[in-house]
Structure 1
Amino acid sequence: MPIAEDPEPRPSEGREPDGSDPSGAGGKDPFADLVLDDEFVKGATVKEQSGRSRMLSARWKHTPPVDPGGRRSVNDGPPQAKRRFGRKPKLQVVDPWGNVRSAKRRRTLEWRTPLFVVLTLAVLLAALNIDGLRDWLHTGGSSAAHVPVPTVAPETARPTTAPPTVPADQPTVAHPWAGSPAEGWPNGADAFVLPEARATGVFSADQVADQLQLVKDYLTAGNLDPKVVAGGRPEAALAMLQREERDVATGALDNPSQKNDPTNWFSRFDPRDAVPVGDVVKVQGRMTFEGDGDKGVLVHTDFSYVYPLRPGPEAAKRAATPAPPAGSPQPTDPAAPQGGTAKPVGLLTPVDDAPADTWTTRTIVRRVDTFRFYDPGRYSINPKKLVFAGQQTDPANSACGVHDGFFHPQFAQFDQLRPDTPEPRSTGPAEDPYDRSKDIPKAEGCGTVSRT
């Protein structure tokens, strides 16, 4: 078959080694020095689409894509809602991730957010006032707010003034220390801080330390033992006394009288008209010692005991007849609470048959006692037993003229039941039973108190 000739001569194909044009035209092949390496590929200005891109482009020419809703870009902004029936479209809220929050979710957040804020504040306030929260849970939130009194350390010297005045709140089973400066006093035996022992008279420092501990044990057994305070017999305290002292105290318990009243020795309440609230007794005072001038030791104690009490089953009857008839039978030992005497105020357990808002009262007993330890080389005496060298007792808020071996506090809720005949009382100003800056008054008879 004939081949048509080119109208013009073809340029050199550049197959010579040096790329010269064999025709002699002087031209050079532009692709002679081209190298198809990575640099050439990366520097290309035009790139071919991937296979999937070409496939989707061909499909979308006939079937455009549809937006399914779902996630949106934060750059898209909120979708435009359609107006229906002339109503104003509701604005849609988009979260930081581009999701549209539903109306139900928005309504849920509207009430949850303030609830979370309130709960957070409540937890914070409760953490700052643990004692107040415990009292609120303990009483079911029925009692009024109570402001605690600052804590006071045991005395190291005689105070110069009376305790400061506190709000005159009515004490209850839930708050037995309301209105009393004793709320900040030490609990029970925590107030019996022993002085540092030293050799005195014929006794060594260790022997003096044992004597101080014996005095502390006696004060605890006679004034803080829950069974004794609730009307029981103070057997443990009796066992610490010398035989002569024990015989006198036992006779007072068996046959109480005005001249030989057991309350001069022990703190006891008749469970028929006064029941201790819990087993905590607030105590304040100090203990010191010195030589007796006869190679012996004198231990001085000055402590005030504050007892919280609720009415007993016969409290109303006793209020109408304050003085029980002579020879009235002694109550049997009650089933008093067991355990120690120094539980925190916040852990008081109200009596089961007394509501938390039942009015209570307090009896304050101040005892100034001196114990003597004789030189066993000169006296026939047991150096491990106690002998009284002096006793003073001053009770406040206890029925006057009643000497049956118990303290009988007066409760405000029964004031209207008391007879109109005034009780024998001394004239003069009322005494503050919490004032420990003064000596116990030496006046005979009954007095009045400014606060309990």
Structure 2
Amino acid sequence: MTKGARVGTGAGAERNGSSVPDDEWERFLRESVEGTADAPKEPSARARSVARRLRDEPEPPGWRTYSPGPPPPVVRRERRRLVGPLIAALVLAVVVAVGWFFGPFGGSEAEAPVAAPETGRPTSAPPAESAARPTLDAPFRGSPAARWESGAAGITVPKAEATGWMDAAEVRQALQRSLTFLSETNLDADVLRGARPEKTPKLVNPHQEDVQTFLRTAFREPGPENDPLLLVSRFDTGQAHLVGDEVRTRGRLTYREGKRGALEVSADVTFVYPVVRAEGARDEVVRTVVRRETVMSWDDPAKVVTEPGTFSLLSYRLHVTNGGCGDSTGYFTPPFGEDRPEATTGDEIDPYDRSQELRDGSGDQCDEAVRS
């Protein structure tokens, strides 16, 4: 029986007289229908469309892959916006580093902001400053005085108003003369170098005999009972020299009506004097700190024996740091190197703390200063 040829996968398909072996013929028929593993296939229309889109568009990077191409525009904008802050941060870091480096070793005190004028008694001591040591170029560095005014500018003078027997103009004149007294006795360059003040006796009531006797004797024969340092700041130029021409000050004048209608002016002022040795090595700067409380009475000549334009000295107190604790010589004697004396009271005191009144007799004692 002749079987007609047909395409199929059945095992009984015939070759119609072919001489090809049965197993080869069967493989040929199977591959014709199913295709070979390595035979090329015609892509479908959808596959061709996807291939064209992938060819035209770049392949997105994987979530852990790195793309060497430029970042998207939004990232570049962020980087441009960050350039300014980054540069500013770098500049600030450099400035801080330079300030830290030059702070202990150089630089100028003029950069320190000036403290606001003192208009009343402070409630606490000034905050601690840096531990930088003073130098010839910056003698007040490392102390609150670095932010104080120089000379009389650091002494606050209140607004003048009529008080007691004086009208406003007379009060203003009395305040100015009180400031003149403080300036000559504590700021005058010649007096600081040992000269005798010339204006002071003329400002003090000539009829106040005890004070006039003190002023005459103290500069001629200084001693425990007649120490000119009770009223006047002086240095022995053979022992110490002032650094520069600046004295830093902080304090204020106040006034009220006193006895018999007098104008009573009180002064509370701290003076800071930087000094060096007069001879030998002069690289060690020592600060002598003097705080004075002085009360002056501008009396009514109609009620008190006095002269116009003069005041009666009611009281004077002081405290001195680095001014010497031995016998009075009429000069401050700042210690240098190993010459610092031992404290005699065992008390610790902050010479820059103006929040408390001076205690009586403080000028006769030697306290341990916590800073200078």
1:167 alignment counterpart? 130
Q: Match of 1:365, SS?
A: strand
1:363 to 288, 303, 321: 288
Q: Match of 1:235, SS?
A: coil
1:303 to 248, 251, 269: 269
For structure 1, the residue ranges without an aligned partner over 5 or more in a row are 1-123, 137-141, 317-353
2:247 alignment counterpart? 281
Post-superposition offset of 1:424: 5.8
Post-superposition offset of 1:172: 1.6
Contact 2:108-2:137 within 8 A present in 1 as well: no
Quote the Cα distance in structure 2 between the aligned partners of 1:158 and 1:423.
31
TM-score (norm. length: structure 2): 0.67
AA aligned to 1:426 is: T
Residues 306/424 of structure 1: CA separation in 2 closer, same or farther (3 Å cut): closer
Cα deviations by residue, 1:288-325 (Å, 9 ceiling, x for unpaired): 10001311110011000000111112x79xxxxxxxxx
Contact 1:170-1:359 within 8 A present in 2 as well: no
Quote the Cα distance in structure 2 between the aligned partners of 1:201 and 1:145.
50
AA aligned to 2:216 is: T
AA aligned to 2:128 is: T
Quote the Cα distance in structure 2 between the aligned partners of 1:252 and 1:168.
38
Structure 1 position 445 matched with structure 2 position 370: no
1:152 alignment counterpart? 115
Higher helix share: 2
Contact 1:239-1:246 within 8 A present in 2 as well: no
Residues 375/146 of structure 1: CA separation in 2 closer, same or farther (3 Å cut): closer
AA aligned to 2:156 is: V
| CA RMSD of superposed structures (Å) | 2.7
Structure 1 position 393 matched with structure 2 position 318: yes
Contact 1:153-1:186 within 8 A present in 2 as well: no
Quote the Cα distance in structure 2 between the aligned partners of 1:185 and 1:144.
19
1:207 alignment counterpart? 170
Q: Match of 2:164, SS?
A: coil
TM-score (norm. length: structure 1): 0.56
Post-superposition offset of 1:407: 0.6
1:425 to 336, 344, 358: 344
Percent pairwise identity: 34
Post-superposition offset of 1:247: 3.2
AA aligned to 1:363 is: T
1:253 to 215, 219, 228: 219
Post-superposition offset of 1:386: 2.4
Post-superposition offset of 1:176: 0.5
2:154 alignment counterpart? 191
Structure 1 position 404 matched with structure 2 position 295: no
Larger deviation, residues 208-217 vs 231-240: 231-240
For structure 2, the residue ranges without an aligned partner over 5 or more in a row are 1-90
Q: How many residues align?
A: 271
Q: Match of 1:239, SS?
A: helix
Cα deviations by residue, 1:385-407 (Å, 9 ceiling, x for unpaired): 12211110111112102301111
Cα deviations by residue, 1:92-131 (Å, 9 ceiling, x for unpaired): xxxxxxxxxxxxxxxxxxxxxxxxxxxxxxxx99xx9xxx
Quote the Cα distance in structure 2 between the aligned partners of 1:169 and 1:146.
12
1:220 alignment counterpart? 183
Post-superposition offset of 1:380: 2.2
1:383 to 279, 284, 308: 308
Q: Match of 1:284, SS?
A: strand
Quote the Cα distance in structure 2 between the aligned partners of 1:199 and 1:177.
39
Quote the Cα distance in structure 1 between the aligned partners of 2:105 and 2:199.
38
Contact 1:149-1:181 within 8 A present in 2 as well: no
